[in-house]
Copies of this chain bind each other. A is one copy, B any other.
Amino acid sequence: FITKLDMELAAIEKGGYDHFMLKEIFEQPQTIHDCLRGRLDADAGTITMSGIEKHAAQILAAQRILIIACGTSWHAGLVAEYIIEELCRIPVEVEYASEFRYRNPIINKGDVILAISQSGETADTLVAIETAKEKGAIILGVVNVVGSSIARISDAGAYTHAGPEIGVASTKAFTAQLVVLLMTALKLAAEKGSISRDRYLLLCKELAAVPEKAELLLKADAQIKALAEKYKDARDFLYLGRGYNFPVALEGALKLKEISYIHAEGYPAAEMKHGPIALVDEELPVVFVATKDSYHEKVVSNIQEIKARKGKVIAVITEGDTITPTLADDIIVIPQADEMIAPILNVIPLQLLAYHIGVAKGLDVDKPRNLAKSVTVE
């Protein structure tokens, strides 16, 4: 009786989807919308984030911002590093919480630490910011679970409002982190005057359009499922990207590892020539996150190098790109978006690819072996 009821409850909670992971991937247009709501007014060009507002002067006065996180949140931190450095012109360093806390890190009074965690309970991140706080650092938290330990210890911060994430592999929490971090960067840049009004307004409008574009993107689900069938027996994968898309490559690879147990590894695309390209043969699928941006031309030349070694290329490209499809074996098309917005969209098909490969292999995608939803042990 109890088992049966539990199963039915679970089925109801999954809202018609086969797995929580799939439900959460499909929720992203809504969760991104929730994350923007009450904060972004794209027409007025305003972003309301009281936690950031209150500490803006201190943050802008900081000599550097340290981002502390683990796993998927660490990838969100890498995207934020690139965006904050570009828009706010403040040096940013991203550290693995587990490495940071056991070193004797250099923290001075007034330093700014940005902690990112879905659960808000990640043990290494929590201890890292406790130590930093004792040394007088200002702690900003980007957290999903309201009232969690990291949220409570932070001086300020912003919730990601993605709702409960049940699938062990983080999906909607990641895109919500990217949205919050981008809004934070925009707000700080506007305050500092390091962004032109035009660029600021454009990025606000682009942010507001993300839910709709994500919705559009999810229509590629059937196509990605077919791709998953084609590649599910691959021994391993490489995921490559440059610039804002380099962390997306890392995150795509991590999803595949977690869900399919296929050894996928992400790399900045140019680093492949310094070693990983030795792995490339006619068996190896290489996923390129290759949407149109300042790095695009260089990424295309990396694709050519992989094809010259007979690797299989799956390219995530921008709608309207006519060159890359002539080089790649398979393509996934993303609606046009600014290069700072694109990571939010680009990761979604990679989540789907990992999901469908995991399902095709008959694995428990909601509860991959060996993994816990939040790592509350050290």
Chain A positions 180-238 with a Cβ under 8 Å from a chain B Cβ: 235-236
Q: Is A34 an interface residue (CB 8 A)?
A: no
Contact A309 B370, beta carbon cutoff 8 Å: yes
For A122, the closest partner residue in chain B by CB is B274
Complex Cα spacing A276 to B263, Å = 9
Contact B242 A261, beta carbon cutoff 8 Å: no
- Chain B residues, CB < 8 A from A60: none
Q: Is A294 an interface residue (CB 8 A)?
A: yes
Contact B375 A274, beta carbon cutoff 8 Å: yes
- Chain B residues, CB < 8 A from A281: 261, 369
Contact A263 B261, beta carbon cutoff 8 Å: no
Complex Cα spacing A263 to B236, Å = 7
Complex Cα spacing A124 to B105, Å = 29
Contact A370 B277, beta carbon cutoff 8 Å: yes
Cross-chain contact of A371 among B90, B242, B277, B372 (Cβ < 8 A):
B277
Chain A positions 14-35 with a Cβ under 8 Å from a chain B Cβ: none
Q: Is A324 an interface residue (CB 8 A)?
A: no
Contact B275 A71, beta carbon cutoff 8 Å: yes
What class of interface size applies to chain A in its complex with B?
A: 35 or more
Known contacts A271-B70, A275-B371, A278-B371: A106-B124 contact under CB 8 Å:
no
Chain A positions 260-316 with a Cβ under 8 Å from a chain B Cβ: 261, 263, 265, 268-271, 273-281, 294-295, 298, 301, 309
Known contacts A274-B71, A275-B71: A98-B242 contact under CB 8 Å:
yes
Complex Cα spacing A316 to B294, Å = 43
- Distance in Å: Cβ of A31 to nearest Cβ of chain B: 21
For A284, the closest partner residue in chain B by CB is B263
Q: Is A99 an interface residue (CB 8 A)?
A: yes
Known contacts A71-B274, A242-B99, A276-B257: A91-B89 contact under CB 8 Å:
no
Contact B279 A257, beta carbon cutoff 8 Å: yes
For A246, the closest partner residue in chain B by CB is B99
For A238, the closest partner residue in chain B by CB is B263
Q: Given contacts A82-B103, A259-B278, could you give 9 more A-B pairs where the C-beta distance is less than 8 Å?
A: A71-B271, A72-B275, A91-B93, A99-B246, A235-B235, A261-B281, A263-B263, A270-B378, A275-B371
Sorted from nearest, which 9 A-B pairs have the closest CB atoms? Answer: A71-B274, A98-B270, A236-B263, A277-B370, A273-B375, A254-B275, A278-B368, A70-B274, A258-B275
25 pairs, CB–CB < 8 Å, chain A vs chain B: A63-B63, A64-B91, A71-B274, A71-B275, A72-B275, A74-B271, A82-B103, A85-B105, A86-B103, A89-B106, A98-B242, A98-B268, A98-B269, A99-B246, A99-B268, A103-B243, A124-B270, A254-B276, A257-B276, A257-B279, A261-B279, A263-B265, A273-B375, A273-B377, A274-B375
